[in-house]
Amino acid sequence: MTQHPRIDDLDRDILKALMHDARIPYAEMAKRFNVSPATVHVRVEKMRTSEIITGTEVMVNPKLLGYDVCCFIGINLNAARDYHSAIEKLKELDEVVEAYYTTGAYNIFVKLMCHSIEELQYVLIDKLQAIDEVQSTETLISLQNPINRNVKP
């Protein structure tokens, strides 16, 4: 059984603050939580070391960059042994932004972002379905994303 790192209420408060604004200064968090900036620094480093915090990233608005089509594609492979090679080929497709190995109806479930329906059609026919390991696909187009949040610390 995997052992999860232990965190306390201060760690959770720090995580919530960082998830709201990753640029918040340690001194500001220290004031807010009534601890020293050094304590905040030590706690953040502890969470980095234990991989609770795995990095910081800039979130972009895909719509403002011209990505108007978001879809999810269920992929069935020819055989389970094709998984690793299929994933390597999917990694080469810039349009694939997430991939999951799943149980149920599909072997792999991917999130794909395109500029247009025409681009989606090209990606499906000429890129994704051209992967030898792919037996079949099912595409679900997202109309909106009303909930988009991280897990609660």
pLDDT in tens, 3-24: 788 999 999 999 999 999 999 9
Q: What share of the chain is helix, strand, coil (3-state, %, to 5)?
A: 40, 20, 40
Q: Tokens 């990233």 correspond to what residue?
A: 57
pLDDT in tens, 22-41: 999 999 999 999 999 999 99
Same fold, 9-49 and 62-142: no
Q: Is 125 or 58 the better-scoring residue by pLDDT?
A: 125
Its pTM stands at 0.84
The pLDDT assigned to 5 comes to 85
How does DSSP classify residue 60?
A: -
| CA separation for the pair 115, 90 (Å, rounded) | 18
Which of 3.90.199.10, 3.30.980.20, 3.30.70.920, 3.40.50.2300 is the CATH number of 62-142?
A: 3.30.70.920
Q: Do 128 and 73 contact (CB within 8 A), yes or no? A: yes
What residue ranges do the domains of the chain occupy?
Answer: 9-49, 62-142
Q: Which CATH class is domain 9-49?
A: mainly alpha
pLDDT in tens, 62-103: 999 999 999 999 999 999 999 999 999 999 999 999 999 999
The pLDDT assigned to 16 comes to 95
Which DSSP helix (H) or strand (E) runs through 36? none
What are the residue ranges of helices labelled H in 55-116?
83-91
Identity (one letter) of the amino acid at 104?
G
